[in-house]
Structure 1
Amino acid sequence: MNNRKLDDHERRSNGANIDMIVTHEPSNLEIAILEVSGPPAVPSHKHYLDDRQKLAVNLKKNVQKDPGNVFQR
């Protein structure tokens, strides 16, 4: 599926990767992960739950990859 050819209201292809990781450059700490879910006017909101699960899985992978990248209490 070519995401660039889809209209705004059409769902993009699923993927395991998140859309963006925000990094604090001086410390090289990942401080946020983002997933763009689409417009809220879509009748079905199931994709929000799918994106939420994708964020949780990727957050877990990032922490396992580099446990030193997590804020310590």
Structure 2
Amino acid sequence: MRIEDKFLNLAEGHLNHLRDYRHRTILDNVFAAILIPPIVIILMSIVIKNIIIEFAKNLFGVYQE
């Protein structure tokens, strides 16, 4: 499993838990407001970086990291 999939599963699990309003607490709201946005930002930055690298590989043939 790739690191992107792990971050996505983690974020989806927290979001699914927060959709269950019977067990929703103030702590869950704080947790969602503080922790989920950085997870999404990190995930999207990894995905965008990989897209740019693949584009560069296709455009120039080889990409050196």
TM-score interval w.r.t. the shorter chain? 0.3 to 0.5
Larger Rg: 2
Larger strand fraction of residues: 1
Q: Per chain length, whose mean CA-contact separation is higher, i.e. which structure has more relative contact order (CA < 8 Å, sep 6+)?
A: 2
